[in-house]
Amino acid sequence: MNSLDYFFKPKNIAIIGASHDPGKIGHVIMENFITSKFKGKIVPVNPKLGKILDHKVYASIKDVPYKIDLAVICVPAEFVPHAVIECGKKKVKALIIISAGFHEIGNEELTKKLAEAIKKFPRMRVIGPNCLGVMHLKHGVDTLFLPSYRLERPHNGRISFISQSGALGSAILDWASLKGYGISKFISYGNAMDVDEADLLEYLGKDKETKVIAIYLEGVKHGRKFFEKAKIVAKHKPVIFIKGGITEGGAKATQSHTGALAGSVEVYKAMVKQTGMINATTMEEVFDYARVFDREPVPKGDRVQIITNGGGYGVLATDAVLQHGLKLAEMTEEKKEEIKKNCPPYAVIKNPIDLTGDADNKRYKIALEAVISDPNVDSLIVILLFQVPTIDSEVIEVVQEIRVKHAKPMLVVSAGGEYSEMHKKALEKEEINTFSSAFNAAKSLKALTEYYLRRNR
Amino acid sequence: MNSLDYFFKPKNIAIIGASHDPGKIGHVIMENFITSKFKGKIVPVNPKLGKILDHKVYASIKDVPYKIDLAVICVPAEFVPHAVIECGKKKVKALIIISAGFHEIGNEELTKKLAEAIKKFPRMRVIGPNCLGVMHLKHGVDTLFLPSYRLERPHNGRISFISQSGALGSAILDWASLKGYGISKFISYGNAMDVDEADLLEYLGKDKETKVIAIYLEGVKHGRKFFEKAKIVAKHKPVIFIKGGITEGGAKATQSHTGALAGSVEVYKAMVKQTGMINATTMEEVFDYARVFDREPVPKGDRVQIITNGGGYGVLATDAVLQHGLKLAEMTEEKKEEIKKNCPPYAVIKNPIDLTGDADNKRYKIALEAVISDPNVDSLIVILLFQVPTIDSEVIEVVQEIRVKHAKPMLVVSAGGEYSEMHKKALEKEEINTFSSAFNAAKSLKALTEYYLRRNR
- List the CATH number of the domain containing A413: 3.40.50.261
Omega into B47 within 30° of 0, i.e. cis? no
Q: Residues A362, A451: one domain? A: yes
Q: Residues A275, A387: one domain? A: no
Cα separation, A67 vs A93, in Å, equals 9
What is the pLDDT, as a whole number, of residue B220?
84
Residue range A43-58: average pLDDT? 96
Q: Residues B290, B392: one domain? A: no
Query: Is A311's CB within 8 Å of B257's CB?
Result: yes
Cα separation, B338 vs B366, in Å, equals 8
What is the tens place of the pLDDT at every residue in B50-74? 999 999 999 999 999 999 999 999 9
Q: Is A223 left (phi over 0), alpha (psi -120 to 50) or beta?
A: alpha
Query: Is B416's CB within 8 Å of A282's CB?
Result: no
Q: State the ipTM, two decimals.
A: 0.92
Query: Is A249's CB within 8 Å of B311's CB?
Result: no
Contacts with B309 from chain A: Cβ below 8 Å: 167
Cα separation, A92 vs A62, in Å, equals 10
| CB nearest A315 (choices: B250, B281, B417) | B250
The residue of B387, B414, B444 whose CB has the most chain A CBs within 10 angstroms, and thus the best one to mutate to test that interface, is B387
Q: Tell me the range of A143-147, A188-192, A269-273, B302-306 where mean pLDDT is highest.
A: B302-306
Q: Residues A356, A315: one domain? A: yes
What is the tens place of the pLDDT at every residue in A384-435? 999 988 999 999 999 999 999 999 999 999 999 999 999 999 999 999 999 9
**Quick one: what percent of chain B has pLDDT higher than 70?**
98
CB pairs under 8 A between A and B: 260
Within a domain: residue A77? yes
Q: Do the beta carbons of residue B307 and residue B368 sit within 8 Å?
A: yes
Contacts with B252 from chain A: Cβ below 8 Å: 318, 350
Pick the last residue of a domain from A131, A162, A179. A131
Within a domain: residue B145? no
The residue of A151, A261, A316, A420 whose CB has the most chain B CBs within 10 angstroms, and thus the best one to mutate to test that interface, is A316
What is the pLDDT, as a whole number, of residue A130?
94
| CB nearest B171 (choices: A163, A281, A416) | A416
Omega into A129 within 30° of 0, i.e. cis? yes
Q: A349 in helix, strand or coil? A: strand
- Report residue A261's pLDDT band, with 50, 70 and 90 as the boundaries: low
Q: How far is CA B169 from CA A104, B79, B103, B195, B234, in A?
A: 51, 26, 20, 17, 21
Q: B69 in helix, strand or coil? A: coil
Shortest alpha-carbon distance between residue B410 and chain A (Å): 20
CATH code for position B89:
3.40.50.720
CA B61 to chain CA centroid, nearest Å: 34
Shortest alpha-carbon distance between residue A15 and chain B (Å): 21
What is the pLDDT, as a whole number, of residue B261?
56
Q: Residues B323, B446: one domain? A: yes
* Mean pLDDT score of chain B: 94
Shortest alpha-carbon distance between residue B32 and chain A (Å): 15
- B335-371 as b/e, with b when 16 or more CB fall inside 10 Å? bbebbeeebeeebbbbbbbbbbbebbbebbbbbbbbb
Q: Is the pLDDT of residue B260 over 70?
A: no
- A 10 A CB-CB count for A394 gives 13
Q: Is the pLDDT of residue A79 over 80?
A: yes
Q: Residues B406, B324: one domain? A: yes
Contacts with B437 from chain A: Cβ below 8 Å: 282-284
Q: Residues A353, A433: one domain? A: yes
What is the pLDDT, as a whole number, of residue A258?
67
What is the tens place of the pLDDT at every residue in B379-435? 999 999 999 889 999 999 999 999 999 999 999 999 999 999 999 999 999 999 999
Residue range A371-395: average pLDDT? 96
* HSE toward the beta carbon, residue B38, CA cutoff 13 A: 26
Q: Residues A27, A69: one domain? A: yes
Q: Residues B176, B279: one domain? A: yes
Q: B156 in helix, strand or coil? A: strand
- A 10 A CB-CB count for A199 gives 24
What is the pLDDT, as a whole number, of residue B263?
63
Query: Is A218's CB within 8 Å of B346's CB?
Result: no
* Mean pLDDT score of chain A: 94
CA A431 to chain CA centroid, nearest Å: 15
- Tell me how long chain B is: 457
Q: Residues A271, A345: one domain? A: no
* Range scoring the smallest mean pLDDT among A83-92, A218-227, B107-116: A218-227
**CA angle at residue A442 from A446 to B324, to 5 degrees?**
90
Q: Is the pLDDT of residue A262 over 70?
A: no
Contacts with B389 from chain A: Cβ below 8 Å: 146-147, 150
- A 10 A CB-CB count for A257 gives 28
Cα separation, B332 vs B371, in Å, equals 9
* Range scoring the smallest mean pLDDT among A151-155, B51-55, B291-295: A151-155
Greater confidence (B267 vs A334) lies with A334
- Report residue A105's pLDDT band, with 50, 70 and 90 as the boundaries: confident
Contacting residues for A189 by C-beta, under 8 A, at least 6 apart: A127, A128, A131, A162, A163, A164, A195, A196, A197, A200
Nearest to residue B427, comparing CAs of B363, B384, B371, B367?
B384
| CB nearest A247 (choices: B172, B216, B319) | B319
What is the tens place of the pLDDT at every residue in A307-358? 999 999 999 999 999 999 999 999 999 999 999 999 999 899 999 999 999 9
Q: Is the pLDDT of residue B46 over 60?
A: yes
| CB nearest B418 (choices: A178, A309, A388) | A178
**CA angle at residue A130 from A222 to B330, to 5 degrees?**
85
**CA angle at residue B223 from B222 to B229, to 5 degrees?**
90
Within a domain: residue B135? no
Shortest alpha-carbon distance between residue A88 and chain B (Å): 30
Domain containing A234 equals 151-295
Cα separation, B83 vs B359, in Å, equals 67
Pick the last residue of a domain from B96, B130, B164. B130
Contacts with B348 from chain A: Cβ below 8 Å: 256-257
Nearest to residue A159, comparing CAs of A135, A128, A129?
A135
Cα separation, B108 vs B173, in Å, equals 32
| CB nearest B174 (choices: A164, A169, A416) | A416
Within a domain: residue A137? no
Within a domain: residue A142? no
| CB nearest B150 (choices: A244, A328, A387) | A387
**Three-state secondary structure of A64-127:** CCCCCCEEEECCCHHHHHHHHHHHHHCCCCEEEECCCCCHHHCCHHHHHHHHHHHHCCCCCEEE
What is the pLDDT, as a whole number, of residue A283?
86
Model pTM score: 0.94
Q: Is the pLDDT of residue A263 over 70?
A: no
**β-strand partners of B161:** B186, B214
* Terminal Cα distance for chain B, rounded: 34
Q: Residues B312, B439: one domain? A: yes
Within a domain: residue B146? no
Contacts with A171 from chain B: Cβ below 8 Å: 310, 313, 385, 387, 415-416, 420
Q: Is the pLDDT of residue B262 over 70?
A: no
| CB nearest A178 (choices: B328, B346, B417) | B417
Strand extents, DSSP E, A123-276: 125-127, 133-136, 141-142, 156-163, 183-188, 212-217, 239-243
Greater confidence (A151 vs A93) lies with A93
Q: Residues A242, A155: one domain? A: yes
Contacts with B319 from chain A: Cβ below 8 Å: 244-247, 249-250
Amino acid identity at A158:
R
What is the pLDDT, as a whole number, of residue B266?
78
What is the tens place of the pLDDT at every residue in A9-25? 999 999 999 999 998 99
Q: Do the beta carbons of residue B351 and residue B382 sit within 8 Å?
A: no
Within a domain: residue B136? no
Closest chain B CA to residue A28: B389
Domain count, chain B: 3
Closest chain A CA to residue B413: A171
DSSP output for B355-372: --TT--HHHHHHHHHHHH
CA A332 to chain CA centroid, nearest Å: 38
Greater confidence (B120 vs B149) lies with B120
Query: How would you class A249 by CB atoms within 10 Å of its CB: exposed for 0-12, middle for 13-18, buried for 19 or more?
Result: buried
Q: Do the beta carbons of residue B80 and residue B109 sit within 8 Å?
A: no
Within a domain: residue A309? yes
B283-295 and B438-455 helices cross at what angle (nearest 10)?
60
Amino acid identity at A270:
A
Q: What values do phi and psi take at B307, rounded to 5?
A: -125, 130
**Quick one: what percent of chain B has pLDDT higher than 90?**
85
What is the pLDDT, as a whole number, of residue A260?
61
| CB nearest B354 (choices: A245, A257, A352) | A257
Cα separation, A324 vs A261, in Å, equals 32
Omega into B154 within 30° of 0, i.e. cis? no
**β-strand partners of B156:** B183
What is the tens place of the pLDDT at every residue in B101-127? 999 888 999 999 999 999 999 999 999
Pick the last residue of a domain from B251, B269, B295. B295
